[in-house]
Amino acid sequence: MVIDALKDILLDLGIPEESITDTALLRKDLQLDSTETVDISLGLKRRLGVNVKLESRKDMTLAEVCDMIDKAMAATPS
């Protein structure tokens, strides 16, 4: 479910579907710029109601982003 939401957001940004994989790095592989990264955070807030900051110095894979989202969802009171 989380990966589906993330994938939808990336597709809306115009990221080619074939490049959206668990091991794809946000910056190195998907070439996301800072505005696109912010848009992913806004999209996750809208769709899943979680606050996830992706603007860290460390490049992250999509699997690592999903882990962050899962943890954020678990910590968010329902």
Partner 1 sequence: MQSKTRDKVVITGIGIVNPAGVGKEEFWDNITTGKSAIRSISRFDATGFPTQVAGEIVNFQPADFIPRRFIVKTDRFTHYALAAAELALKDANLDLEQEDSYRVGVWFGNNAGGWDICERGFYELYNDGPTMVNPWQATAWFPTAAQGYVTIRYGIRGYSKSFVCDRASGASGLHFGVKSILQGHNDIVLAGGSEAPITRFGMTCYYETGEVSAATDPETAYQPFDRDRSGMVLGEGSTVLILESEQHATARGAKVYGEVISSCMTTDSDPTKGTHFERCIRRAIADANLTSADIDVVLPEGCGTQASDRVEAQALQAVFGEQAPDVPVTVPKSFYGHLYGASCVTEVACSLLSMETGKLPTMQKISHLDPECQLNFVTQSSDSQVDFTLVNSRAREGVNASFVIGRG
Contact between 42 and partner 1 by CB under 8 A: the answer reads yes
Q: Is 49 left (phi over 0), alpha (psi -120 to 50) or beta?
A: left
35 forms part of the interface with partner 1 (CB under 8 A): yes
Q: Is the CB of 1 or the CB of 11 nearer to partner 1?
A: 11
Phi, psi of 61 (to 5 degrees): -80, 165
* CB nearer partner 1, residue 53 or residue 71: 53
Q: For partner 1, which stretch binds (CB under 8 A), given 18-26, 35-43, 60-68, 69-77?
A: 35-43
Task: Decide if 72 contacts 52 (C-beta within 8 A).
Answer: yes
H helix and E strand count, the chain: 3, 0
Which positions lie near partner 1, rule CB under 8 A?
12-15, 34-36, 38-39, 42, 45-46
